[in-house]
Amino acid sequence: MGIHLCFVAPESLKDGDWLTPHETHVFQKVKAAAHRRDWLAGRLAAKKLIQRFFRERAGLELALSQIEITNDEHGAPVVTSPLALPISVAHSVGHGFAALATRGSIGVDLQQIRPVRPNLAKRALSERERAQLTDRFAEREREGLLVFWALKEAAIKAQRTRPAPPLREISVTLTELGCAEILLRDHSLTARWGRWKEFIWAVAWG
């Protein structure tokens, strides 16, 4: 299965007519400035990704305004034009991240590296995961915790439906550097993670 990723930094956010009429209508309802910026960053990452995918796969040059992304009743992103493709979107402080799978389901997350609540590890991770955290991220526990968190959020998004399961019910095993396996109830997912600028990113699919 092919996985494709795209990151967008705030400086490449563009004004203009790259949204479809329906997207413009949705965007007009987003009021808070920070949310507007994030929404645009996520949309632009997803559209650039789909544009690149069609260019590389089919030699087809699509305008960004020919690609439409809506949200289903659970909030999950849906490509309504040019054709349905599994995608996932995340945004944080004006940065956008999107991933596309050629089949199956996919989820992404983007976490800015920042101080986290002291009890987060206990609340979100199992004993086995906390042992891996200590083992793999000595002296970098905050970053490591955000890796687990991003992987779990990516798994939630790959599942798409709500309500989301509690983070402790999602089991993450770190394997080689940048790779992980995730068990969400009976569903197993393959995952990758990494660092981009001041963020941890994660993608899970299966």
Ligand X SMILES: CC(C)(COP(=O)(O)OP(=O)(O)OC[C@H]1O[C@@H](n2cnc3c(N)ncnc32)[C@H](O)[C@@H]1OP(=O)(O)O)[C@@H](O)C(=O)NCCC(=O)NCCS
List residues binding ligand X (CB under 6 A).
Answer: 39, 42, 71, 74-77, 88-92, 109, 153, 156-157, 160, 162, 164, 167
CB of 87 to ligand X, least distance (A): 8
CB of 164 to ligand X, least distance (A): 4
Residue with tokens 């991003």: 150
Distances in whole angstroms, Cα of residue 129 to Cα of each of 62, 91, 107, 143, 186: 43, 26, 20, 14, 18
Q: Which is nearer to ligand X, 25 or 58 (CB)?
A: 25
Please enumerate, as own/partner, the contacts of 69-72 that have beta carbons within 8 Å and a separation of 24 or more. 69/23, 69/43, 70/22, 70/23, 70/26, 71/26, 72/160
CB of 90 to ligand X, least distance (A): 4
Q: How many CB atoms lie within 10 A of CB 165?
A: 13
Three-point CA angle 79, 84, 87, nearest 5°: 55
Q: Which is nearer to ligand X, 161 or 175 (CB)?
A: 161
Q: Which is nearer to ligand X, 34 or 131 (CB)?
A: 34
Q: Which is nearer to ligand X, 36 or 55 (CB)?
A: 36
Q: How many CB atoms lie within 10 A of CB 46?
A: 26
- Position with the least CB separation from ligand X: 75
How many residues in the chain? 206
Q: Which is nearer to ligand X, 105 or 138 (CB)?
A: 105
CB of 160 to ligand X, least distance (A): 4
CB of 145 to ligand X, least distance (A): 11
